[in-house]
């Protein structure tokens, strides 16, 4: 799971980003917010985006699943809106992240295959610095940004979250690992505070909630 948060810390009004995809996305979000509240606040809203890793459409209770209890997500759905027509160019973790953060097809960044990314010394691929992320666009408009959880879009600098528009990062850079020891599949320690290895004791979900 990756959780991206953006909090507004300035006084200037939000204007649409240059990227057409990002502009459409945020325009839709703001229209919905204003329609629901009926109040046009000069201060832009805080934004929290929660991404479930490799979650299928039918895995959540709010979309009809009876196999997986997801009460908190279901509660969010009951109090908001459910989208039923979303498409991705790569229905796995890294390609989806690449598309979500940039508004581009994942193939543009060579991230078509999830196995291409990892923490081995010979793995140099990841989301390139030339890709403009929604976090970078938000920072231009006065937002403070943070990313918590699984990154899996590049293990080495300069492809880590803090080089891609996020002020704060806490979590794992690789694709997976033990949720108790924070050791990756290849046996590497993988729990970071920004760009610094910062191993902590505790279950992954508890640590993310704490931070």
CA–CA dist 158, 173 (Å, integer): 12
Q: What is the pLDDT of residues 42-100, one digit of tens each?
A: 788 999 988 887 788 889 999 999 998 999 999 999 999 888 887 766 777 788 888 88
Which helix H or strand E contains 191, and what residues bound it?
none
Q: Is 152 a catalytic residue?
A: yes
Q: What is the pLDDT of residues 125-151, one digit of tens each?
A: 778 778 899 999 999 999 999 999 999
Please check whether the domain covering 2-53+92-210 is classified as CATH 3.40.109.10. Answer: no
Q: What is the pLDDT of residues 40-53, one digit of tens each?
A: 557 889 999 888 87
Return the SS3 of 98.
Answer: helix
**Helix and strand totals (H; E) in the chain:** 5, 6
Can you give the residue ranges of every domain in the chain?
Answer: 2-53+92-210, 55-88
Please pick, among 4, 93, 147, 182, the residue that the annotation labels catalytic: 93
Q: What is the pTM of this model?
A: 0.74
Please pick, among 4, 147, 152, 182, the residue that the annotation labels catalytic: 152
Which residues make Cβ contacts (< 8 Å) with residue 68, sequence separation at least 6? 59, 60, 61
């Amino acid at each position: 799971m990756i959780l991206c948060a953006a909090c507004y810390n300035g006084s200037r009004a939000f204007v649409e980003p240059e990227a057409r995809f990002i502009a459409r996305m945020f325009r839709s979000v703001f229209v919905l917010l204003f329609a629901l509240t009926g109040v046009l606040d000069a201060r832009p809203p805080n934004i929290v985006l929660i991404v479930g890793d490799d979650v299928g459409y039918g895995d959540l209770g709010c979309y009809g699943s009876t196999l997986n209890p997801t009460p908190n997500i279901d509660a969010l759905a009951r109090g908001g809106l459910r989208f039923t027509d979303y498409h991705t160019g790569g229905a796995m973790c890294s390609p989806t992240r690449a598309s979500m953060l940039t508004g581009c097809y994942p193939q543009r960044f060579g991230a078509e295959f999830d196995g291409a990314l990892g923490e081995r010394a010979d793995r140099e691929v990841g989301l390139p610095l030339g890709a403009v992320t929604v976090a970078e666009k938000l920072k231009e408009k006065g937002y403070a940004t943070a990313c918590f959880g699984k990154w899996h879009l590049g293990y080495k600098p300069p492809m880590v979250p803090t080089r891609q528009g996020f002020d704060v990062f806490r979590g794992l850079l690789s694709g997976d690992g033990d949720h108790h020891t924070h050791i990756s599949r290849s046996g590497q320690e993988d729990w970071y505070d920004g760009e610094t290895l910062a191993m902590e004791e505790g279950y992954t979900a508890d640590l993310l909630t704490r931070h």
